[in-house]
């Protein structure tokens, strides 16, 4: 199966201008709306009702900003108040029986994204939360509200301001690779080979028992579970090349990630003009240890026609009502207005890109400042969304 949706990227020092830069395009069915929603931190011991199943509570939830299909509990991507960002990818493997059957309703990969963000205060802790839940509850279930045959296993990039993890799974089995410098991308195919920093208990023995590995030589996760000896997928390879080129100056920043997510020639940006999947939402996060992390969301399809709007976690953050759906059947305000403007070839796109550029410049000033009073950013995302809404109207 040729991979046909989603790309996730991370770039780390010394290749970046500021901190760790995360980016993801969420490619979903063309009739599905993706919303950007904020949930504050809370203490709660009530069981958590995910998309299909209920899991036990951790007793608390971090504040999170999520880009998610409006009908599901989980999220395609997001970030939390501690500067952790996570995105997931659909993958298909050779092992799909029993506990590995992705058609059985368990935890969706998107549920694991949200749970990792709500519980994990570092990338490593989020990784541990996700693998614990994966091993306890398993993964599976239809990943589309309108197509019950869309089922898959998942891979993830989990990162904070100091490190990143690639987590790749098959049912309850998994392998994780830590990335501490340079860049990494994933795109609908297994990418972990012999560099395995953590893995599920009994992984190698299981692979041998299923005839996925003959036990000879060094264990290769990708070869065992997908049968692929070389990197698979044109978008994955194109993404690697784009990262190599754009990090050559060692000053990679959010606008470079914007450009990668907007690249149509590679197929990384799936436009509304095509057939099938569409890039329904995009996220870029700049994760800093000593400075505020800044998260950019389009909240609208096709990043080549959308504008990235910044969000910063503050003590009194005010979310935008225009990026939240009132129900799974009704698109949010920004989605509807953007769709109409796109059909008309609206002239406001250039004006909105100018707004995006001005936001980048202003927030660079914030990053450079030693003053950490962020109250002036409480309504940053809300104000940018409302400006976009006014332009469309």
Other C-beta atoms lying within 10 Å of the C-beta of residue 233: 20
Q: What average pLDDT does the chain have?
A: 94
pLDDT, tens digit (0-9, with 9 covering 90-100), for 15-37 = 999 999 999 999 999 889 999 99
pLDDT for 172 equals 96
pLDDT for 276 equals 72
Whole-model pTM: value is 0.96
**Those residues with Cβ within 8 angstroms of residue 164's Cβ, 6 or more apart along the chain or in another chain:** 10, 12, 20, 22, 123, 157, 158, 178, 179, 180, 184
Q: Using alpha carbons, select from 373, 250, 276, 381 the residue that is nearest to residue 318.
A: 381
pLDDT, tens digit (0-9, with 9 covering 90-100), for 370-383 = 667 889 999 999 99
pLDDT for 2 equals 45
Q: Is residue 328 packed enough to be buried (19+ CB in 10 Å), middle (13-18) or exposed (0-12)?
A: middle
Does residue 3 carry a pLDDT above 60? no
Average pLDDT over residues 122-135: 98
pLDDT, tens digit (0-9, with 9 covering 90-100), for 246-271 = 999 999 999 999 999 999 999 999 98
Strands 34-39 and 198-199: unpaired
Buried b (16+ CB within 10 A) or exposed e, 79-102: bbbbbbbbbbbbbbbebbeeebeb
pLDDT for 187 equals 94
**Under DSSP, is residue 350 helix (H, G, I), strand (E, B) or coil?**
helix
Which pLDDT band, with edges at 50, 70 and 90, does 367 fall under? confident
pLDDT for 275 equals 63
Q: State the catalytic residues.
A: 6
Give the helix/strand (H/E) hosting 32.
none
Give the helix/strand (H/E) hosting 4.
none
Average pLDDT over residues 43-48: 96
Q: Please say whether the dihedral angle defined by the alpha carbons of residues 232, 238, 239 and 240, taken in this order, is positive or negative.
A: positive
Edge-first strand listing for the sheet containing 64-69: 34-39, 64-69, 77-80, 85-91, 153-159, 164-170, 173-179, 198-199
pLDDT, tens digit (0-9, with 9 covering 90-100), for 276-334 = 789 999 999 999 988 899 999 999 999 999 999 999 999 999 999 999 999 878 999 99
pLDDT, tens digit (0-9, with 9 covering 90-100), for 324-339 = 999 878 999 999 999 9
Other C-beta atoms lying within 10 Å of the C-beta of residue 155: 27
Strands 20-28 and 85-91: unpaired
pLDDT, tens digit (0-9, with 9 covering 90-100), for 329-366 = 899 999 999 999 888 776 788 889 999 999 999 998 88
Task: Give me the domains of the chain, ranges plus CATH numbers.
Answer: 7-392 (3.60.60.10)
Average pLDDT over residues 204-216: 96
Whether the link from the prior residue into 292 is cis, omega within 30° of 0, is no
pLDDT for 258 equals 98
63 close to 41: Cβ distance less than 8 angstroms: yes
Quick one: tokens of 250?
């060692």
89 close to 6: Cβ distance less than 8 angstroms: yes
Q: What percent of the chain has pLDDT over 70?
A: 98
Give the helix/strand (H/E) hosting 390.
helix 380-392
């Amino acid at each position: 199966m040729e991979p046909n949706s989603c790309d996730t990227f991370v770039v780390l020092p010394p290749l970046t201008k500021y901190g760790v830069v995360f980016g993801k395009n969420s490619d979903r069915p063309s009739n599905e709306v993706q919303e950007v929603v904020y949930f504050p931190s809370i203490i709660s011991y009530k069981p958590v009702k995910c998309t299909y199943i209920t899991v036990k509570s951790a007793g608390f939830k971090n504040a999170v900003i999520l880009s998610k299909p409006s009908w599901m509990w989980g999220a395609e991507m997001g970030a939390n108040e501690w500067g952790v960002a996570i995105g997931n990818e659909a993958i298909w493997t050779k092992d799909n029986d029993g506990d590995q059957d992705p058609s059985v309703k368990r935890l969706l990969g998107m549920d694991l994204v949200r749970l990792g963000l709500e519980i994990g205060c570092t990338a490593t802790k989020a990784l541990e939360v996700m693998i614990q839940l994966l091993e306890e509850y398993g993964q599976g279930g239809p990943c589309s509200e309108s197509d019950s045959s869309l089922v898959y296993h998942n891979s993830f990039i989990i990162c904070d301001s100091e490190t990143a993890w690639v987590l790749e799974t098959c049912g309850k089995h998994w392998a994780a690779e830590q990335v501490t410098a340079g860049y990494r991308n994933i795109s609908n195919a297994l990418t972990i080979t012999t560099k395995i920093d953590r893995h599920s208990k009994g992984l190698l023995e299981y692979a041998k028992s299923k005839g996925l590995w003959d036990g000879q030589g060094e264990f290769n996760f990708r070869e065992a579970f997908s049968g692929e000896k070389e990197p698979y997928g044109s978008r994955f390879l194109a993404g690697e090349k784009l990262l190599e080129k754009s990090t050559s100056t060692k000053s990679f920043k959010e606008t470079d990630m914007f450009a990668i997510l907007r690249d149509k020639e590679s197929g990384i940006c799936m436009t509304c003009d095509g057939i099938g999947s569409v890039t329904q939402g995009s996220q870029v996060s700049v994760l800093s240890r000593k400075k505020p992390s800044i998260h950019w969301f389009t909240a609208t399809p096709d990043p080549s026609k959308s504008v990235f709007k910044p969000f910063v976690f503050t003590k009194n953050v005010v979310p935008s009502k225009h990026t939240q759906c009132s129900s799974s059947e009704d698109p949010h305000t920004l989605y509807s207005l953007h769709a109409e403007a796109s059909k008309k070839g609206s002239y406001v796109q250039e004006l909105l890109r100018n707004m995006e550029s001005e936001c980048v410049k202003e927030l660079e000033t914030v990053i450079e400042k030693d003053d950490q009073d962020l109250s002036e950013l409480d309504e940053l995302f809300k104000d940018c969304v409302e400006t976009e809404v006014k332009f469309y109207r």
